[in-house]
Amino acid sequence: MGNEWALVFFTSFVALGAGTFMAVGFNEWRGFDPKVRWSGAVAAIILLSLGGFSSVMHLGHPERIFGALGHPTSGIFMESSMIGLTALCIVAYLVALKRNAALGTLRFIASVGVVLAAILAFAVGDSYIMGARPAWDTLILPLIYLMTAVVAACFAYNIMHKPNLSVGDSITTKSLTLLALLVMAVLIIAYVVHISSDDFPDYSRSATRILSGDLAPLFWAGIVLVGIVIPAILALIKPANNSRSTLAIIALVCVFIGAISFRLMMFKLGTSVWQFF
Amino acid sequence: MVQKTLVIDLDRCIGCYSCEVACKQENNVALGDYYGKVLTVGPVGEFPNLQQYFLPTVCQECRDAPCVKVCPTGASYKADDGSILIDKEKCIGCRYCMMACPYGARSFNAEEKVVEKCTMCKHLTDVGGEPACVKACPAQARFYGDIDDPKSIVSQVVANAGAENVHSLPDRGNHPTVRYILHKENAEWQAIEPKETWREFHQPPRTEGENKNG
Amino acid sequence: MKQSFFDRRDFLKATTIIGVSGALGLSLSDGLIPKAKAETHDATSGVGGEIKIVKTNCRACIHNCGVLAHVKNGRVVKLEGNPEYPMSKGTLCAKGLAGIQALYNPNRNKYPMLRVGKRGENKWKRISWNDALQKLADTLMDTREKYGAEAVFCSTGGGGNPQFPSIARFCNAFGTPNWFEPGCSQCYLPRTLTWDLMYGGPASSIADSEALELYSKDSKIKTLVLWGTSVSYSCPAGGGRILTELRSKGVRTVSVDPRFTPDAARADVWLPIRPGTDVALMLSWIRYVIANNHYDKDFVLKWTNLPFLVNTKTHMLLRASELVSDGDSNTFVIWDTTSKSAKPLTYPWDEKLIPALEGEFNVGGETYKTGFQLLKDRVEPYTLEHAAKICWLEKDKIEQALQLYIQGPSGISLGVATDQHPNSTQAAMSICILDSIMGNVEKPGALMQRRPHSGTMEPSTYIVPEARKLLSEEQLNKRLGAIEHKGLLQWGAAHIPTVLNAILTAKPYQPRVWIERSGNKFAVLGNASSWLPAIDKVDFIAHMYMYPTSFSSYADMLLPAAEWLETNMLVESLNMLCGRQAVTHTWETMDETLFWSKLAKRLADMGHENCQKAFDAEFMGRDLPYWNTMEELLDARLKPLSITWKEFIKKSPMEFMPYDKWHQYYVYKQVDPETGLPVGFSTPSKKLELYGERFIELGRTGRPYATYDLPPASQDYDALPYYAEPHENPNADVGKEFPLVMTNGRLPMFHHGTLRNVPWLREIYPVPEIWINPVAAKKYGVEQSDWVWVESRRGKTQAKARVTEGIAPGTVYMERFWFPETLNTESHGWKEMNVNVLSKNDAPFNDVCGTYTLRGYQVRVYKADSAPEGVWTEPEQFAPWLPNPSDPTPEAEA
Ligand SMILES: Nc1nc2c(c(=O)[nH]1)N[C@H]1C(S)=C(S)[C@@H](COP(=O)(O)OP(=O)(O)OC[C@H]3O[C@@H](n4cnc5c(=O)[nH]c(N)nc54)[C@H](O)[C@@H]3O)O[C@H]1N2
Ligand SMILES: Nc1nc2c(c(=O)[nH]1)N[C@H]1C(S)=C(S)[C@@H](COP(=O)(O)OP(=O)(O)OC[C@H]3O[C@@H](n4cnc5c(=O)[nH]c(N)nc54)[C@H](O)[C@@H]3O)O[C@H]1N2
Ligand code: SF4
Ligand code: SF4
Ligand code: SF4
Ligand code: SF4
Ligand code: SF4
Ligand SMILES: [Mo]
């Protein structure tokens, strides 16, 4: 397995974890099923840990990681500190839950967590913006990373939700989900446009490669179909009783697969301006 | 400021690979890894009207080195003489610097699990010597020195060549300092990485994603 | 700073050896690749300790560049160039730098070994040097007694072996006329012979460290023609360096080369000639130069034999002795235009005469022409248009090249390319004629120069004297192929295809014992497969080399030879003399200079009279008696400089003559104190003998090279160059089936068959490429990087396709290759991808010296399904051959 797999999983799990906690935070303000608070937060922290674990897998010398503390500008510092802070926040939230803290406290902690999770999701993408790799040299990239988390949040929210959602809530949720997927779709299109307009054009990072080259299956099947179209259809289906979370789980898995596909594609496209060796 | 770097005269380079092997000997570089590698650019054109030159590649000793910027531990740093170095003791092997380098000029040492690159033979130059590749080069096509000092050999070589014959690799804001000299009469400089550089034929370059060591 | 050399190696030490035996499938006690585990020395003992720098000289190719070897606790840890060496000036090429990986290669031959399994099974047992020498001596004595000494033959490497006279000497002492090396007729001999006969000076090969004028501090040369030579690859650190230097000073270059080499890419004019057709182009150059009056008429008249009259029937020059009663046989006759009569021309010149350069004349009832006229007649058909057609060139480009060439001083460096097809000596003659008639002779900027030598070696590059007088007339007459191809007598070698034929047919007698002292004969001999049946017919084969090669697989005894870092030698470079000195010594390896003398000693002790004579100082005289140590030989060699080897290596590199005194021009004009006349050239007439009557004489008698007059060759050699279309060519029948013309040329990371086991070099070039033009590739269904089959009438082999514009659509290029990693498979490493499976070693041969066809024959190329089995292509695969350093060992007792 190539080196990028660790990073693919790292960023995908982080998106999923961040999204999950976003859903928990949302939940806090909408005030429903208290049972999902605990399981949602635990799921989020597990997903983030999986992400963190993946990223450590990728290091040659994880034992020297503390050296990173002294260099707060690096992407890794941002990523790991954001993971740390987000996780800390989630733990605080869990502790607060355990101690039956007041709703206000919980809401406050959760809100901070949502913001941190969003920053985390964005930061993980942001550290790939590099002049060295024209395919990565765009703000669209972290925005896509952020939107992955948001889309994941939408479905996670659906999973956590009580079976009987009010009509209003149901419409809001559905619209938000579709909106998120739409934004995602727009970002993906923007990304392909970005790819095809670089100063140092090369087939390895071309729209042709994405749309009809060796990356086409990954793009059309993984990113477009599984990552966006199927989740959108699942969001549109009017669920039978009790099947809401089943559909949402399927959708979330699709989103995760879409995230992995996108990241894989991104690594394949991420060739440097020259490659000496 | 001081900015030590290499200047390579492609009009002189005869593509003999001596620099590559000299570097391997001097720096004990692992099989399949390189601090410098000689690429063949061309032949361009149609038989028998052809152009070709060799491009010995090394770290471009960037002024604004992105590899340094992304390094989380400070293992990659810009030394006082302008050279970009790696403190292997500090390196966590995250390989972000490899991703940040526009030229794939760094390699991952699978054995030590750290990243390494051309050191401009600091251990030799510190004691007044020349880099191993510079010394070995049969065509005397390689020069080492302070490009910010107009009196240095590298500055003189660049000045003698005339601006239109001095080239550098694409700048992505990193401001490479290595300079290549090539006159049009010999061959047209290829600003964009050519499709085939012969060595790919035996050994395709290994991108970060496809890195054998990953 | 890290202690670079040792870390990784220590790490690999443990895995290395298992890797080798694993990879080679060895489970033998003492296989070709000895189980080194038990023998591995402690690599760490090299850490710490002082670095000592030893001055020595590289021998990874024939260029001898100066080296500074860094030695720590007796182990070589680093190599760099020695700035004092005048030709390489401290630079070093990839092959030289890889010296440590060759020296400490885990796959070295470490001890003498005797075969215990069947031939080809690669089962060996270690024996002592004493036993090895005794066994060899017994076999030799036995064979001589039963079948005559000629039933023993030896072979060696020519390209890289600084002392094949060692072999010649041993053969002369033992009494066999038969030894060969794969270069010789195919390398350099055609040129050394021609320049010697026509000029009496060295040929113009840069790769062979000649064309010394190029290294002059301020050479006046304006145009350098690189004809079938690519010095950036064949001698990067010397020739490649100086060529770059010259180009940067504005010297213009022409490259006549089918392959778009670095030197072709930098040339002002590139002529991608059809392989094997050079002489046609050369004749057109001569014609152009004469027709357009670009030649130096005055020089031609005064300093060449072209104005001399030649009998059109006998082809011999008219001598004064035949014209006038008191005439001298070394005085030749011209046609005096004033008196309209034939007149002897007293050396050097007779102001009273006005010799005709052209014309046909009647002298005493016989028809005579001047040499010049004959040359003119000979080149007449070769217009530029005609040559362009034959050679696949554009007429305008040829003319452009000529325009550069005629603006002298210019010079043509003739490389090995033309030595490798049957038109070999004719090519050499043409170039010698061209530079001579242009007057590019011994003047500033000319390549034809005679510079003094140190006097320590005779001939100038070999420390071991051949001692030809040891070989009797009877035995000389038995030299295989040398009666027909008498050019071979210059080097004293046998003709390879004739030796092969003798082995296969027992005619005129059966060669039975083979001592081979070089690398992989299957990689370097033409039509390698033709040797397989021969090997079955040879009773005993000993192979002496640094590591096992394909050839070892067929041997009965293996002897460990020293690497260049372990040997001593004298090296001349310009006005300097250098000492290649042993930097260390490993295992039980032996310098061959000693090996042959030790073997001769055994034979002498066993009563071999000639070998006994070879130890007799009085009898041997200038040929030196055999030596017991290297120092003995080297001391004797250094006598003319009144210095011992021990003293010398402290001073080496040392000027044997001040540069200005050494750097002479116009040697031919120097006055001979004895005669008061110019010394002229080193030919019988003291003129440049461009009408090559000496070739005729050589063919009829063997003079001036044979120790005894020999019977004539079946046909007279031609005194002038002629063009012969390659026997296999695109228009011949064979061209229908095999449409592409194959050629070869050097690569900068290997020397002949060597260094295929050096990781640093194999990772640059793991498998041989075949260059093919996109047009041809398309036609034959080949794409970039495809594995392909390459096939000739003689066999087929594989290669990796490099589709490139750098070669003509009708030509392909490939180099020799073999694979140490598949030594123990059925192929023994030489069949997979080796251009010499395809090359041609049958007639027609070059008449004068017997050259066969290594370049310019027909092949076809088609896609293969897969890579050949078992060959290594990935850098990491070469890890088992990373150096496994060992402490110095004493010289083996024997
Ligand atoms: N198809 C094809 N075939 C060719 C050629 C070609 O271009 N194409 N080239 C031809 C030419 S030009 C040549 S010269 C031959 C070369 O053929 P060989 O000379 O037989 O080739 P090697 O043995 O591989 O190389 C010469 C050897 O000399 C060794 N050497 C170094 N020092 C000594 C020493 O002191 N004694 C001895 N005995 N050896 C020493 C080197 O290690 C090296 O192994 O191949 C010929 N074969
Ligand atoms: N690296 C390296 N250096 C070596 C050697 C080695 O094996 N490797 N061998 C040494 C020895 S023994 C020798 S003889 C010298 C030889 O050194 P060079 O004389 O430089 O020989 P090559 O490179 O074999 O051939 C010269 C060029 O001839 C071209 N050529 C091929 N066919 C033809 C033809 O028909 N006509 C013409 N005009 N050109 C043709 C080839 O493409 C090649 O570029 O190199 C010596 N140096
Ligand atoms: S791999 Fe090492 S040098 Fe490179 S960025 Fe990471 S810590 Fe810095
Ligand atoms: S070339 Fe690459 S490794 Fe070298 S300084 Fe620039 S970014 Fe860093
Ligand atoms: S300067 Fe030193 S480290 Fe850099 S490429 Fe040259 S030899 Fe290698
Ligand atoms: S050593 Fe010099 S001439 Fe040879 S490839 Fe390197 S830069 Fe070019
Ligand atoms: S050219 Fe290279 S291989 Fe040949 S002697 Fe010089 S350094 Fe050694
Ligand atoms: Mo040769």
Q: Residue C571: name the closest of C168, C67, C97, C100 by CA.
A: C67
Tell me whether residue C648 is in a domain: no
Contact C185, C485 (CB under 8 A): yes
Judge whether residue C467 has pLDDT over 50: yes
> pLDDT tens-digit profile of B28-77?
999 999 999 999 999 999 999 999 999 999 999 999 999 999 999 999 99
A162, A232, A238, B177, C54 from A241: Cα distances, Å: 11, 19, 9, 67, 89
Residue C720 covered by a domain: no
d(Cα C521, Cα C756) in Å, to the nearest integer?
14
Both tokens of residue C498?
């004739």
Residues A2 and B211 sit within 8 Å (Cβ to Cβ): yes
Q: What residues make up the domain containing C364?
A: 303-378
DSSP C814: E
Q: What is the DSSP-derived secondary structure letter of residue A203? A: G
Token digits of residue B198: 């012969």
**Parts of chain B with a pLDDT under 50:** 208-214
Position C582 in a domain: no
Q: Does A140 share its domain with A123?
A: no
d(CA A202, CA A269): 10
Task: Please state the φ and ψ torsions of residue C596, each to the nearest 5 degrees.
Answer: -65, -35
Residues A122 and A139 in one domain: no
pLDDT at A241: 67
CB contact under 8 A, B31 and C765: no
Is residue C726 situated within a structural domain? Answer: no
What is the distance in A from the centroid of ligand 7 to the CA of C581? 16
Strands B84-86 and B76-78: antiparallel
Query: Is residue B214, in this structure, part of any structural domain at all?
Result: no
Closest CA to B31 of C760, C737, C346: C760
Residues A152 and A83 in one domain: no
- Residue C580: Cβ within 10 Å count: 23
**What is the rounded distance in angstroms from the CA atom of residue B39 to the CA atom of residue B180?**
13
> Across the interface, do B104 and A277 touch by the CB < 8 Å criterion?
yes
Residue B69 lies in a domain: yes
Residue C265 has pLDDT above 80, yes or no: yes
Task: Read off the tokens for A180.
Answer: 């998120």
Q: Tell me how far the alpha carbon of residue B85 lies from the centroid of ligand 6, in angstroms.
A: 23
Phi, psi of B7 (to 5 degrees): -120, 130
Which pLDDT band holds residue C234 (cuts at 50, 70, 90)?
very high
Phi-psi region of C304 (alpha: psi -120 to 50; beta: other; left: phi over 0): beta
* C349 token code pair: 């010149």
Plot region of B179 (φ>0 → left; ψ -120 to 50 → alpha; else → beta): beta
Q: Which of A127, A159, A180 is the last residue of a domain?
A: A127
Are residues A64 and A199 located together in one domain of the fold? no
**Encoding tokens for residue C255?**
């490259």
What does the alpha-carbon distance between residue C760 and residue A72 come to, in Å, rounded to a whole number? 41
Q: What is the pLDDT of residue B64?
A: 97
Tell me, what's the pLDDT at A72? Answer: 83
Residues A146 and A188 in one domain: yes
Sign, CA torsion C482/C487/C488/C492: positive
Interatomic CA distance for residues C803 and B47, integer angstroms: 12
Please identify every stretch of chain A with a pLDDT value under 70, giving residue numbers as ranges: 1-3, 31-33, 162-165, 240-242
pLDDT in tens, C589-648: 999 999 999 999 999 999 999 999 999 999 999 999 999 999 999 999 999 999 999 999
Contacts of B185 (CB under 8 A, 6+ apart): none
Domain presence at residue B208: no
**Interval C79-88 mean pLDDT:** 97
pLDDT at B214: 29
* A121 and A139 together in one domain: no
The structure tokens listed for C638 are 């250094």
Residue C63 to residue C631: CA distance in whole angstroms: 23
Note whether A114 and A30 are same-domain residues: yes
Cα–Cα distance between C684 and C701 in angstroms, integer? 16
Q: Could you write out the three-class secondary structure of C661-681?
A: HHCCCCHHHCECCCCCCECCC
User: Are A266 and A166 members of one domain?
Assistant: yes
Q: What would you measure as the largest C-alpha separation in chain C, in angstroms?
A: 89
* Residue A105 sits in the same domain as residue A239: no
* Count of other CB atoms within 10 angstroms of residue C482: 27
pLDDT tens-digit series, residues C470-518: 999 999 999 999 999 999 999 999 999 999 999 999 999 999 999 999 9
pLDDT at residue C851 tops 50: yes
Partner-chain contact B92 A65, CB within 8 Å: yes
Longest dimension (CA), chain A: 60
CB contact under 8 A, B201 and C769: yes
Going from the Cα of A275 to the center of ligand 4, the distance in angstroms, rounded, reads: 12
Rounded-to-integer distance, Cα B201 and Cα B39, Å: 11
Domain count, chain C: 2
**Is C150 among the domain residues?**
no
Alpha-carbon torsion, ordered C206, C212, C218, C221, to 10 deg = -60
Nearest CB to B99 within list A61, A64, A133: A133
What is the rounded average pLDDT for all residues in chain C? 93
List subunits contacting chain A, requiring 3 or more Cβ pairs under 8 Å. Answer: B
Query: How far does the CA of residue B118 sit from the closest CA of chain C (Å)?
Result: 14
CA pseudo-torsion sign C399, C401, C403, C409: negative
CATH assignment of the domain containing A60: 1.20.120
> Is the pLDDT score of C46 beyond 70?
no
* Both tokens assigned to C326: 């008191």
For residue C259, the ligand 2 atom closest to its alpha carbon is: 42
User: Token pair of B138, please?
Assistant: 């049969």
Number of domains in chain B: 1
Burial A49-75 (b: 16+ CB within 10 A, else e): ebbbebbeebbbbeebbebbeebeebb
Asked if residue A95 and residue A25 are part of one domain, the reply reads yes
The rounded Å distance from CA C158 to ligand 2 centre is 14
- CA-CA distance, C313 to C369, in Å (whole number)? 10
- The ipTM is 0.93
Q: Whose CA is nearest to atom 1 of ligand 2?
A: C748
Query: Contact C563/C627 with Cβ under 8 angstroms?
Result: no
Q: Are C404 and C410 in contact (CB under 8 A)?
A: yes
Query: How far is residue A198 from each of residues A134, A204, A209, C339, measured CA to CA in Å?
Result: 7, 12, 14, 85
Supply the CATH number for residue B31's domain: 3.30.70.20
> Residue C239 has what DSSP assignment?
I
Residue of B nearest to A56 (CA): B94
pLDDT tens readout for residues C673-699: 999 999 999 999 999 999 999 999 999
Q: Is-contact B148 B169, C-beta < 8 A?
A: no
| Nearest C-alpha neighbor of C557 from the set C109, C106, C40, C172 | C109
Q: Is B75 in the pocket of ligand 3 (CB under 6 A)?
A: yes
How does DSSP classify residue C685?
T
Kindly report whether the peptide bond that precedes residue C653 is cis, defined as omega within 30 degrees of 0: yes
**Number of neighbours of residue C249 by Cβ within 10 angstroms:** 10
Q: Does C11 or C651 have the greater pLDDT score?
A: C651
Output the CA–CA distances (angstroms, integers) from residue C223 to C252, C255, C405, C441, in the order listed.
Answer: 5, 11, 6, 14
Q: Which of A79, A106, A127 is the last residue of a domain?
A: A127
Q: Which residue from B98, B94, B107 is spatially nearest to B29, judged by alpha carbons?
A: B107
Residue C189 belongs to a domain: no
Query: At which of C343, C378, C413 does a domain end?
Result: C378
Residues of C in contact with B186 (CB under 8 A): 265-266
Q: Which of A165-174, C393-402, C419-428 has the lowest mean pLDDT?
A: A165-174
Q: How confident is the model at residue C161 (pLDDT cuts 50, 70, 90)?
A: confident
Residue B147 domain boundaries: 4-203
CA distances C845 to A272, C228, C503, Å, are 55, 20, 19
Q: Are B50 and C805 in contact (CB under 8 A)?
A: yes
Q: Is the pLDDT of residue C24 over 70?
A: no
Distance, in Å, from the CA atom of C54 to the CA atom of A74, rounded to the nearest integer, reads 49
> Of C334, C358, C378, which one is at a domain's C-terminal end?
C378
Q: Please check the confidence at residue C45 and state whether its pLDDT lies above 50.
A: no
Closest-approach residue (CA) in chain B for A65: B92
Domain encompassing residue A269: 134-277
The predicted model gives C700-710 an average pLDDT of: 97
- Domain end among A127, A145, A169: A127
The set of residues, in sequence order, having a beta carbon less than 8 Å from that of C404 and lying 6+ positions away, is: C223, C252, C254, C268, C269, C410
Number of domains in chain A: 2
Residue of B nearest to A263 (CA): B209
> B19 CB contacts (<8 Å, ≥6 apart)?
B36, B38, B56, B133, B134, B136, B137, B142
Interchain contact, B99 vs A67, CB within 8 Å: no
Last residue of a domain, one of C327, C357, C378: C378
Give pLDDT, residue A162: 66
C160 pLDDT band, cuts 50/70/90, is confident
β-strand partners of C343: C334
Q: Is the pLDDT of residue C368 over 50?
A: yes
Same domain, A36 and A116: yes
Residue position matching structure tokens 């030596």: C627
Nearest to C748 among B17, B30, B201 (CB): B17
